[in-house]
Structure 1
Amino acid sequence: MTTVDTFTTGDVPALRRELLEWLRDGRGLRFHARMSTKAGTMMGRPELDGHPGMMRAWAEMLCEQEARTLANATLYFVTAEMTEIVRTAAADMPAFPPDADDFPMPAGMIVYETPLVEYERAELAAVMIDGRMAYDPTDGREEIGVTACTWGPFDMAGDWKHGGVWMSFYRNRAEILAKTIDDRTREGLRAEHARLVPDNEYGIQFAGTDDEAGKAKLQERLAETDQPGYTSFWAKHVLATLLLMQQPLVYERPEPIRRGLRRQLERAGYPTGDIRIVDARPRRYEPGEEGPSPEAEQAGADDVEDSGRKLSVRFPVRGFWRNQWYPSREVHRPKWIAPHWRGPEAAPIVHPERVRVLRHHPDQEAPHAQTHA
């Protein structure tokens, strides 16, 4: 993956504003109308794929949906260290059909400091500027880094009885600029797109709590598409992020928008809510800042076994997913048990080693030796 400048926490409100302006001034409609070649299939009329009227209708729906989502979105920023934890955790997390309670807010925009998902695809899907391909087509492949996502309520014009969610995925424009052919193409790309460029979307229908057959069918489809080329795989990584945010070893904290930017947003009529930072570490306090109380620090430092027995050594615990039952929602959800240290900080460290032994079971027939001439 080409190395490009990454986003910071302070970029997130401006990124939302840029996308809203991109949608409102017509650039978003032009882009989506060009890219919606499979709109007929999405509307249940595959024979109309590529039809200009269908492409425009689908593009209008996308723009309206995304404008609503962005206007009401709670903003999140995931640090690079936390993103790596999400990627590692999602690799072992089984795909599952989400429901509304799996999302902390009805609408959200989440930006990752480093790409959440990376993969390669045929370069035929590359961005076009003035009829020219934006990339050097010599290798026939393009590298994609999904670095942001939005989600919002969606019910397919009332066809989804229990509702659903629409997720839009974005890549960093700088990633595309790094591979552009010439200055003319590069300037055209800057003019035509915000710093976040839409790459693909994913809509998922919620199954009712009593629709076991519907859940099983959706679960089977998700398992079949659990690989990087599918947007359901990207959605699984976002869901892994949201599930990890509920874990006690993941730190979420608000950060207000800078005063100057807040005033600009207020004058332009854009939202000015705080940014939620998702990190693997607690906030670092600068000298003079007020941090947590000594009592809170001590409460977090105590480490006792479930049985109440005090630990006398310190050892690493590997991370794993547990299929946790939530009685209030009557659903099972993967719960990430993060890798962590157990035991007092001052205790001796031990590294348990596991040795797997392959042996012949006495109830099985012994394998026959084979002789080769």
Structure 2
Amino acid sequence: MTELARHAASSLPDYRLHPEDLPSPVGFMVYAQPPVPGTASGPHDDVCIVSWGPGRGGVWVHTWAPTSMSPAQRGVVQIGRNLAKADHHDALQRARAAAARNLPTPSPDNKPATSEEAADLWGAHLLTTWLPNLERAPIPPSFCPPHGYEWCALTPMEFTEMEGWPDGVSDNQSSVAAEAKIALQRTILATWLLMGQTLVHSERVHAPRAARRRIETLDPAIGTAVRYIDLRRSRTEPSDHSTDDREKSGREYHHSWIVRGHWRNQYYPSRNENRPIWIDWHRAGPDDKPLIGGERVNVLRR
């Protein structure tokens, strides 16, 4: 599905996004591998999770990427998680006490003599840094979540023409980064459109018993069933030449052939406009005739 979405996005025509194009008003999807490289930076790998929900003028899309943190970053994260679990009043008092010490910012010039002093200096510095946030609200438990993925970007996607669509691309980004972000956004839209077509099969699958027990231990309110979206490859006769037409015209096909996947605009009277429909690759022509180029064999190499 990831490969199909990436391939379909490369030829996706400009299209006006509609609310009914979304699989659900609020949701998230996980790609088996990052569909577009170069879509995350810093301590992240490429984006492979997308979540969305309603926003002003359309839908707001959040992207997430796996983290690859250094030991120092993991230490900061652990402090944040401990603060998130602590009582807000106690955490606020500790941060104010650290700020009152007015300690210098850690640097090579004021390196502490012992590791204990270094840890104390870094801890006081972090508490002082987080004091303004603590005074406004508690640090949320999702502070660098333990599932290994971090939020990367927010892109407001309006229900408007795709041309010039990616509002989330800033002017100071490199052309390579901007193109990667545009490709990712088109891939997201292509995925939504593919999920809404009949070339996919939906099946509700329940988690195994051991997994259900682990999930219920974490949070009984979390559902233990998921919806699998499976692709169905079609094998059809040529749509523009029916059997009756061939008999009337006297045309006879001596081979069958493979039609590559492509987008086709289909008119919707309820919208009074066209909507892109993905036509998956399929075998066309008579079943009893040889396939041009020989039989197709898919090979998985590792």
What's the CA shift string for 1:54-111, capped at 9, x where partnerless?
xxxxxxxxxxxxxxxxxxxxxxxxxxxx211111110111343312111021111100
* Higher relative contact order, structure no. (Cα contacts within 8 Å, ≥ 6 residues apart): 2
Structure 1 Cα separation of the partners of residues 231 and 28 of structure 2? 19
1:242 and 2:192 aligned: yes
What's the CA shift string for 1:232-256, capped at 9, x where partnerless?
5423211101211233433433322
Residue 355 of structure 1 corresponds to which residue in structure 2?
A: none
AA partner of residue 158 (structure 2): Q
Residue 84 of structure 2 corresponds to which residue in structure 1?
A: none
CA 1:200–1:91 in 2, change beyond 3 Å: closer, same or farther? same
What's the CA shift string for 1:197-229, capped at 9, x where partnerless?
1111111233xxxxxxxx4xx544228969853
CA 1:344–1:246 in 2, change beyond 3 Å: closer, same or farther? farther
Higher alpha-carbon deviation: 195-204 or 264-273? 264-273
Q: Is the 8 A contact 1:165 1:203 kept in 2?
A: yes
AA partner of residue 250 (structure 1): V
Which residue of 39, 44, 47 corresponds with 1:146?
47
Which residue of 158, 167, 178 corresponds with 1:205?
158
What fraction of aligned residue pairs are identical, expressed as a percent? Answer: 28
1:255-270 to structure 2, matched below 5 A, reads 255-266=205-216, 268-270=219-221
Structure 1 Cα separation of the partners of residues 27 and 286 of structure 2? 38
Residue 337 of structure 1 corresponds to which residue in structure 2?
A: 279
AA partner of residue 349 (structure 1): L
- 3-state DSSP of counterpart to 2:20: helix
Alpha-carbon deviation of 1:189?
5.5
Q: Is the 8 A contact 2:59 2:156 kept in 1?
A: yes
Structure 2 Cα separation of the partners of residues 204 and 169 of structure 1? 13
CA 1:89–1:189 in 2, change beyond 3 Å: closer, same or farther? farther
Residue 242 of structure 2 corresponds to which residue in structure 1?
A: 308
1:214-225 to structure 2, matched below 5 A, reads 215=160, 218-222=161-165
- 3-state DSSP of counterpart to 1:87: helix
Residue 229 of structure 1 corresponds to which residue in structure 2?
A: 178
Structure 2 Cα separation of the partners of residues 260 and 351 of structure 1? 48
What's the CA shift string for 1:324-370, capped at 9, x where partnerless?
22222333222222222224555301149xxxxxxxxxxxxxxxxxx
CA 1:98–1:112 in 2, change beyond 3 Å: closer, same or farther? same
Q: Is the 8 A contact 2:49 2:65 kept in 1?
A: yes
AA partner of residue 164 (structure 2): R
- 3-state DSSP of counterpart to 2:270: coil
Structure 2 Cα separation of the partners of residues 254 and 92 of structure 1? 31
What's the CA shift string for 1:16-48, capped at 9, x where partnerless?
xxxxxxxxxxxxxxxxxxxxxxxxxxxxxxxxx
Residue 66 of structure 2 corresponds to which residue in structure 1?
A: 172
CA 1:189–1:317 in 2, change beyond 3 Å: closer, same or farther? farther
Q: Is the 8 A contact 2:268 2:275 kept in 1?
A: yes
Q: Is the 8 A contact 2:61 2:156 kept in 1?
A: yes
Which structure's CA Rg is the greater one?
2
Residue 87 of structure 1 corresponds to which residue in structure 2?
A: 6
Structure 2 Cα separation of the partners of residues 344 and 270 of structure 1? 53
1:56-71 to structure 2, matched below 5 A, reads none
Structure 2 Cα separation of the partners of residues 241 and 341 of structure 1? 23
- Normalization by structure 2: what TM-score? 0.58
Q: Is the 8 A contact 2:155 2:166 kept in 1?
A: no
Q: Is the 8 A contact 1:106 1:152 kept in 2?
A: yes
- Normalization by structure 1: what TM-score? 0.48
CA 1:351–1:227 in 2, change beyond 3 Å: closer, same or farther? farther
Aligned length: 212
Structure 2 Cα separation of the partners of residues 315 and 250 of structure 1? 23
Structure 1 Cα separation of the partners of residues 39 and 157 of structure 2? 24
CA 1:263–1:278 in 2, change beyond 3 Å: closer, same or farther? same
Structure 1 Cα separation of the partners of residues 62 and 203 of structure 2? 24
CA 1:332–1:258 in 2, change beyond 3 Å: closer, same or farther? same
AA partner of residue 119 (structure 1): G
